[in-house]
Chains A and B, each alone.
Chain A
Amino acid sequence: MKHNKKRNTAFIYETLARELTKAIVAKSPRQKQNIVSLIKEHFAAGSVLRTELHLYQTLLETTNIHQNVAERILHETKFAHSKLDTREVFDAQSRLIAAINKELGKDVWSNFVPNFKSLASVNAIFNSKTAIKKKVLFEQSMVDRMSAQTPPGPSTHLKPIDNLTYHSFIKKFNDKYGDLLQEQKDLLNRFITSFADEGFELRVYLNEELTRLKKEITSATEDSTEPLVTQKLEGVAEYLEEFRKREFTEGDLNKVLKTQELVQELRAND
């Protein structure tokens, strides 16, 4: 049996809700007002469409219940739906569809509704023209879904940290990073916060710091009497010079930090 989505009250409501969201995001107050008026008019309290929508919601929004209870809810919902005047529902739907086409345009029907399949299943359960075999299968599937026990998700609450854990964390952090040089801390600080200003402050700092490092390395190279040390220092100077020709990357951070340490050691040896 083919499912006519325009004759599915829950689908119409869902489509309107999505169109309303689009209008709000697009800052279109006129469209928004039109949709709200349509919903208020056609889904008013006591209206036949509101009653039918409520029956759809009863089946679709009920979860985590016992199988017997699910079966009873399904039975009662079907009974309540059978009490509705089919002709009245059809006419109300026709009026709403015509109003949507006129006020909002036919593009509304192309809105994507994620739970379309579930809505179609409920529609098939309520529809008297659905084949008995299919109806029973849909009903069983609905009962299974309503009675499925969903495992509780991971807790979103942060676990409280006691003082011992906190002090242990601070101690470990200080043991690892406490002996950093002041200039290393400054560089790391600017590197970490560089996302905030697109690295402007980091580049200003690097520009100055590289000048200092180059000066120190050059001075140490001139003072060095050992050829091997001189050669290595020249290599470091060349590496620092490269930053004139290419961007500073995350991979360079470690090397610059080590160069800062090297300069500190050279100064201490003087």
Chain B
Amino acid sequence: MISIKIGGPQATVELQARKALDGSLLITDHKKIDIAVVPGSMKVTTFPKTTSSEDVYEFQNRLLEMLADEGVVDRASIQGGNVFRSLEGIIYETDAVNPLQAAVYVIAEFIEVEHQHEQIADNYEKELEDMYTHPSDRDSTEYGEVPQYAEKGSMRPGYYYYPLRNRY
């Protein structure tokens, strides 16, 4: 008798990742942090990218908080790692689902959310720059539209200002 099992994977994710020699999954999608899923010690560990010059703790913390919120990582286990600026958390072990796959799924969700936030921040920055470099008609005048005057502001032609005169 042949039994046929129906159904494929419940979900698939696409990540820039590779497997290390010890079986760790190294995920490099995020612009600021590197994320490692270590099956040997059942940990998710994050490190700042060597290129990121700013403080990346917020990104690391957000990831591990999200993993804890989704019930993948033990919140009490979140701590600084043995390597400088690393943050890690221990993945819950269970037979009901593959905990490593669950962790990778949540990490992919986190990267997607962060990517959207980054896009919003980038767009805002671009709009701000455009506001200064390409102002609208309402916020600008044509060249020559406002005539020049002989005197502008506090600068008076021919008048030499002696700030300390009559003081000493």
Contact = CB atoms under 8 A, between A and B. Distances in A.
Contacts of A207: 45, 81-83, 86, 88
B84 A204 contact: no
A167 to B, nearest CB: 28
Interface stretch (B3-11, B46-54, B145-153): B46-54
B58 to A, nearest CB: 19
A244 B82 contact: yes
Contact of B38 (A190, A208, A240, A243): A208
- Determine the main DSSP class of A at the interface with B: helix
B84 A244 contact: yes
A29 interface: no
A116 interface: no
A199 B50 contact: yes
A244 B88 CA distance: 12
Contact of B84 (A205, A211, A248): A248
Interface in A192-214: 197-201, 203-208, 210-211, 214
A246 interface: yes
Contacts of B76: none
A243 B84 contact: yes
A85 interface: no
A4 B144 CA distance: 44
B49 A204 contact: no
A178 B106 CA distance: 43
A197 B81 contact: no
A199 B26 CA distance: 11
B80 interface: yes
B20 interface: yes
B51 A198 contact: yes
A245 B28 CA distance: 24
Given A197-B28, A201-B20, A210-B82, 20 more contacts: A186-B22, A198-B51, A200-B34, A201-B24, A203-B47, A203-B86, A204-B20, A204-B26, A204-B36, A206-B82, A207-B81, A207-B86, A208-B22, A208-B38, A210-B83, A211-B82, A243-B82, A244-B80, A244-B81, A245-B84
Q: Which 5 A-B pairs have the closest CB atoms?
A: A210-B82, A198-B50, A204-B36, A207-B83, A207-B81
16 contacts: A186-B22, A199-B50, A200-B28, A201-B26, A203-B34, A203-B47, A204-B20, A207-B83, A208-B38, A210-B82, A210-B83, A211-B82, A240-B82, A244-B82, A247-B84, A248-B84
